[in-house]
Amino acid sequence: MQTPETTRELVIGGVTYETRYTKKFERRTPYVAPDPHHVRCVIPGVILTVAVRRGLRVRSGDPLLALEAMKMQNEVVSPCDGTVRALRVSPGDAVTKGQILVELE
Amino acid sequence: MSVTNKHVDFFRRKDRLLNGGGNKASEKQMALGKLSARDRITALLDLNSFYEFDLFVEHRCRDFDMDKRVLPGDGVITGTGSIMGYPVCIYAQDFTVAGGSLGLMHARKITKIMDHAIKMGMPIIGINDSGGARIQEGVDSLAGYGEIFYRNTLASGIVPQISVILGPCAGGAVYSPALTDFVFVVDKISKMFITGPEVIKTVLGEEISMEDLGGARVHSEISGNAHFYARNELECFHMIKQLFTFIPWNNRRKAERYPVKTPKAKFDIERIVPMDSRKPYDVRNVICALCDNSEFLDVHAHWAANIVVGFARIDGETVGIVANQPMVLAGVLDVDSSDKAARFIRFCDAFGIPLITFVDLPGYLPGVDQEHAGVIRHGAKLLYAFSEATVPKITIILRKAYGGGYIAMCSRHLGADFVVAWPTAEIAVMGPEGAANIIFKNEIAGAPDPAGMRRQKVAEYTEKFANPYVAAASGHIDAVISPAATRDFLIHAIQVSANKSEVRPYRKHGIPPF
């Protein structure tokens, strides 16, 4: 008969249970609320052109840069009105999903 | 040509084709620790039971000098045979012939044997070992894949479909296994992915090995695409044979009955489940203490291990088991475990296999990751699958059955035919801690010693509600039975359910929350 090896604690409904974790559970990362001023990459690809520079005022919907991904040229637009605080990428950069492209303020 | 010469000609032609891709390619295959396609069929099927279809089929590609290339059997061996007397249709891709690449005739051989399986009511086994589409054949090769997927879908729930991944299975090719009922993978040999490491590196700049991207371990532990994991090909074939003892040939037949054997004495049903409901144990020991010969076939053993699903026999009859596993994540329901159980329940229902559910769970796993991953939608699959199932449904509550978890685990309310609880069961709207905090919120806050008051109220609630008798008083459970009486109860329940018939209003099909 198998006996539980090293057990860990898991709290559910105020009760602490002795149990083992799964790999997936162990690997989970704490949630961080997204910053609305960070424009993040939603699909991996390569930056083609950058349409803004630091300090430039942009309005919601203005193009920020062009990103080639999955054989398609995608326009990344500003999610809000604001000023470009920092440009984190330049043309030719390979970018991954979730990477910050532009910081606004 | 004389009759003798015709026979000589026949054997010469046949021998050339039976040699597959030739000795050099075969040596390469062996060096990778892989059996040849023909040896795989021999190893899996009963001795001398294989009858081959379409050995003489030739491809029709005329572009890129392909007309000059002879591809024996077009890279796939198909036919019928038996496994321990069970009739089966089988195909095995031959990697030694053009990398097992799939062209139109290769696909047509597969669809022909699939059509045969559906018509004859025989299980279909596909051994996958292919580099992918035969690029020279262009869109014809895509047509081939599509025609296979279509038949996988038509055969679903009619005959059991088994995929064995014994080599690469990449790109569109992975969708045939994904549509089948059980996928077997072998350590270091199986590789499954939609886009391979090279594309990922080019597009994303991420470097990963084939093994880490889509090896046997990944699919049996992380993605859940594989149901059975074996260390080598022979172990894999042994597991397939074991599975065959439990499942019926088709949806119009019952699974074979086996001689009844009592559970093994080392599994003592009285001593497995600890009294303290916060303490873990291996629920598979409870299953083994109750089923024939303590023989349990764990499906998806390494993925979403917080729920256990698999096949066993009670009184010689195959049953499907669904059980919370307190040893892993306290046995909670979450995205993956709901998905895993729902799929298994639908297989059992489609093939007339009674379901036995063992309940001991604290509820659903809390967390942002779970909510954002759609635990609502995935959790609903479990409710759907249990409610939809019309096979005999027997539920045994071992310890905790709280809230939504109680409802989801095949409660009477979802149409269970028998629901019984052990004396250790706690059937309540939520755990005593949570319930006392809500019901006695004001008393606890207003008390001079809130912590003491909370303890007292938790104890009161536990005393009054953490038992099976409140649910029994409402008829939500049928009986409270002792662990020792459980096997006899299960035998009785299976026997009296033999003629269960439940007719539902006509519909084309339901719309489960996929």
* Residue A93 belongs to some domain of the structure: yes
Is A92 within 8 Å of chain B by CB? no
* Residue A45 belongs to some domain of the structure: yes
How far apart, in whole angstroms, are the C-alpha atoms of residue B146 and residue B111?
10
Is the sign of the CA dihedral B24, B28, B33, B35 positive or negative? negative
3-state secondary structure (DSSP) of residue B111: helix
pLDDT band at B61 (very low <50, low <70, confident <90, very high): confident
Residue A8's pLDDT is what?
A: 93
Which residues partner with A83 through β-bridges? A57
Residue B39 dihedral angles phi and psi, to the nearest 5°: -65, -35
Q: Do A15 and B204 touch (CB under 8 A)?
A: no
Residue A5's pLDDT is what?
A: 66
Q: Do A12 and B279 touch (CB under 8 A)?
A: no
Task: Give the number of domains in chain A.
Answer: 1
What average pLDDT does this structure show over B318-326? 98
> What percent of chain B has a predicted confidence (pLDDT) above 70?
100
How far apart, in whole angstroms, are the C-alpha atoms of residue B445 and residue B12?
92
- SS3 percent helix, strand, coil of chain A, rounded to 5, is 5, 45, 50
pLDDT band at A4 (very low <50, low <70, confident <90, very high): very low
Q: Do B336 and A10 touch (CB under 8 A)?
A: no
> What percent of chain B has a predicted confidence (pLDDT) above 90?
88
* Residue A91 belongs to some domain of the structure: yes
For B222, which of A10, A17, A24 is closest by C-beta distance? A24
Q: Are B58 and B73 in contact (CB under 8 A)?
A: no
Q: Where are the alpha helices (DSSP H) in B22-83?
A: 23-31, 37-44
Residue B413's pLDDT is what?
A: 96
Q: Are B293 and B282 in contact (CB under 8 A)?
A: no
* Residue A1 belongs to some domain of the structure: no
* Residue A17 belongs to some domain of the structure: no
Place of tokens 């070992």: B129
Residue B13's pLDDT is what?
A: 93
Strand B317-324 versus strand B307-314 pairing type: antiparallel
**Chain B CA closest to residue A2:** B282
CATH number of the CATH domain containing A56: 2.40.50.100
Alpha carbon distances (Å) from A104 to A51, A55, A65: 14, 9, 13
Q: Do B329 and A25 touch (CB under 8 A)?
A: yes
Half-sphere exposure of A15 (CA within 13 A, CB side): 26
* Gyration radius of chain A over CA positions: 21
Q: Do A13 and B402 touch (CB under 8 A)?
A: yes
Give B124-149 pLDDT, tens digit per residue: 999 999 999 999 999 999 999 999 99
Structural domain of residue A51, as residue ranges? 38-104
What DSSP element (H or E) covers B8? helix B3-18
DSSP result, B254-300: PPPP----PPPTTS-GGGSS-SSTTS---HHHHHHHHSGGG--EEET
Residue B73's pLDDT is what?
A: 94
Residue A2's pLDDT is what?
A: 45
Residue whose C-alpha is closest to residue A23's, from B184, B241, B222: B222
Predicted confidence (pLDDT) at residue B206 exceeds the cutoff of 90: no
Residues in chain B with CB shorter than 8 Å from the CB of A21 are 328-329
B56, with CB counted inside 10 A (0-12, 13-18, 19+), is: exposed
* Residue A26 belongs to some domain of the structure: no
* Residue A3 belongs to some domain of the structure: no
* Residue A20 belongs to some domain of the structure: no
